[in-house]
Chain A
Amino acid sequence: MSLPEELRNVRPVGPRTLGGAASTWIERHAQTLVGSLGRLARQPLATALTIAVIGIALALPVALYLVVANARAVTAGLGDTVQLSVYLRLPTTAEQARKVARAIKARDEVGEAVLVSPDEGLAEFRALSGIGEALKALAENPLPWVVKLRPAEGQDSAAAVEALATDLRRLPEVELVEADTAWVRRLHAILDALRQIVVLAAAVLALGVLAIVGNTIRLEINGRRAEIEVTKLVGGSNAFVRRPFLYSGFWQGLAGGLLAVSLIGMGLVILEAPVARVAAAYGASFALAGLAAQEYLAIIGGGAALGLLGAWLAAAYQLRRIEPRA
């Protein structure tokens, strides 16, 4: 009737020093960490599918963000194509027109300015409009003298162009100033809207990732119901039971983040040459902008955090409902 020392003294178990407690804590977490990895590896298909969905859900808003960022980069250089057309009042002689054109060209904000006579204008209109025959029926040329100008370098922001147009409108010989900055402004407005859409899409897809991870963990918890019951039966706390599932969610989110980063990186590599060809065709040099290293890290970290949160939500809800029966 003797028991070995290990089983004899009736006293609660557990580490007895703070240092011992810390190292035990680390050891337990390390075991759970590796254990949850092993469990994921034993279900390769399910794990791969979950990771793929997370990766795509994370990559989508990032890709959209890159499209917008690159579109902004392209249109930022569009100022030099901004052109103003200054239409002079109708009874203007060639002499007056040339004087106005010289005055306009002398301004600091103006880069180059070309005077277009009514005859030249009509010829151009005939050539481009395709209604040349009809125009022949006109008794006299209805077109005014026009000064076409481009803003000087550095004066091509929408605001500067608008200010120049306002100035020119005040000249007595000027009937109308057409500044085609409107489409640039519209484009930028569209890009701003797209940026909002990126934020919205990112939020919605983040919720999607939470739902995916949550559901995966929920299934995993159901599959290990017996184990959870027994663990609770022998004194496992909710935190102890929850831990492997949190790690599982963490790993899947992390892998999803890595996949998203790889997808983005691959997409950039694939698109680099075609984009360069398009740019070359327009005589522009434009390099596709990618992401900074910390942005890549943020995607990976974001994936891991979403995985952890999704697992936590599912576990908090599901584990409370599993109580041991005996």
Chain B
Amino acid sequence: MIRFDRVFKRYPNGREALSELSFELATGEMVFLTGHSGAGKSTVLRLIALLERPTRGHVVVNGRNTGSLRSGSIAAFRRQVGVVFQDHRLLDDRPVYDNVALPLAIAGVPRREMDKRVRAALDQVGLLGKERTFPLELSAGEQQRVGIARAVITKPPVLIADEPTGNLDPDLALEVMNLFHRFNAVGVTVMVATHDVHLLDRFPVRRIRIEQGRLANHPYVAA
């Protein structure tokens, strides 16, 4: 589902974020992407979400090579990848409903189906009934769960998350990670970048460790 093939990434400012990085995720697999901050985790996620393109090598997601996508196809590609951010990137001037429904509005889903799906997604993250609440009235954990609801509402085959538990206390972090695990259990390919070691040990999930833009361990060493 996700394949990195000798990916080299250098940013315009000259910083080399990744070099010769290769790994593969099978469909329906879940992995943790670990490593120190600055090791290149965010770059990996940015390449998967097509916020960046590789300088060399290939990134293939869901059968599409991101390097050869025309700019007109980027929007459609991004709809196949649900993204959760550490700072959740919610629209503070819109209620929870609008935030979660945004990807459906983009996809042109009729209002009635939208209502149904938003409720289902909010139910899934435990926020049913908060539709008309504004993000800033929610706790950090709740905001993060709104971000997750938004990421999964289009039922993307791939779900990626960048330090989704970074701002949460251990209980909330566990709760959020459980959510990702549940989505993975129904067939979604999930990649979570995190350095929360305590959390990692509670999930029997493969880890990909990156150090200075390269794989630090054998990719198939399970926890």
Contacts and interface: CB of A to CB of B under 8 A. Distances in A.
Q: B-side binding surface: helix, strand, loop or mixed?
A: helix
Interface string A1-39: 111111111111111000011011101100100000000
Contact of B187 (A4, A10, A25, A27): A10
Contact of B79 (A9, A12, A25): A12
A227 interface: yes
B79 A233 contact: no
A232 interface: yes
Contacts, number: 118
Given A3-B124, A6-B120, A10-B187, A226 B75 contact: no
A77 interface: no
A237 interface: yes
Contacts of A230: 89-91, 102
Given A231-B106, A233-B89, A326 B49 contact: yes
Interface string B71-106: 010011111100101000111010000000011111
A245 to B, nearest CB: 16
Contacts of B72: 237
Nearest to B81: A235
A196 B109 CA distance: 52
A125 interface: no
A211 B55 CA distance: 39
B110 A10 contact: no
A96 interface: no
A318 to B, nearest CB: 16
Interface in B38-59: 42, 45-46, 49, 51
A10 B85 CA distance: 21
Contact of A326 (B79, B162, B183): B162
B155 A24 contact: no
B124 A14 contact: no
A235 B108 contact: no
Contacts of A14: 107-109
Contact of B155 (A11, A20, A226, A227): A11
A291 to B, nearest CB: 42
Contacts of B154: 12-13, 235
A75 interface: no
A267 interface: no
Given A1-B185, A27-B111, A226-B91, A235 B103 contact: yes
A27 B82 CA distance: 25
A236 B110 contact: no
A292 B79 CA distance: 51
A4 B83 contact: no
A324 to B, nearest CB: 6
Interface residues of A, number: 40
A240 interface: yes
A234 interface: yes
B213 interface: no
A194 to B, nearest CB: 49
A30 to B, nearest CB: 10
Interface string B141-185: 000000000111111110000100000000000000000001101
A316 to B, nearest CB: 14
B111 A234 contact: no
Given A27-B111, A326-B49, A326-B162, A237 B76 contact: yes
B106 A233 contact: no
A226 B85 CA distance: 14
A238 interface: yes
A186 interface: no
B218 interface: no
B78 to A, nearest CB: 4
A326 B46 contact: yes
A8 B111 CA distance: 20
B83 A326 contact: yes
B91 to A, nearest CB: 5
B121 interface: yes
Contacts of B105: 28, 31
B110 A1 contact: no
B188 interface: yes
B118 to A, nearest CB: 9
A236 B67 CA distance: 19
18 contacts: A1-B185, A9-B155, A12-B80, A13-B107, A28-B108, A226-B91, A230-B102, A233-B89, A234-B102, A235-B75, A235-B79, A235-B103, A236-B102, A236-B106, A237-B75, A240-B75, A326-B46, A326-B49
Interface of B: 42, 45-46, 49, 51, 72, 75-80, 83, 85, 89-91, 93, 102-111, 116-117, 120-121, 123-124, 150-157, 162, 182-183, 185-188
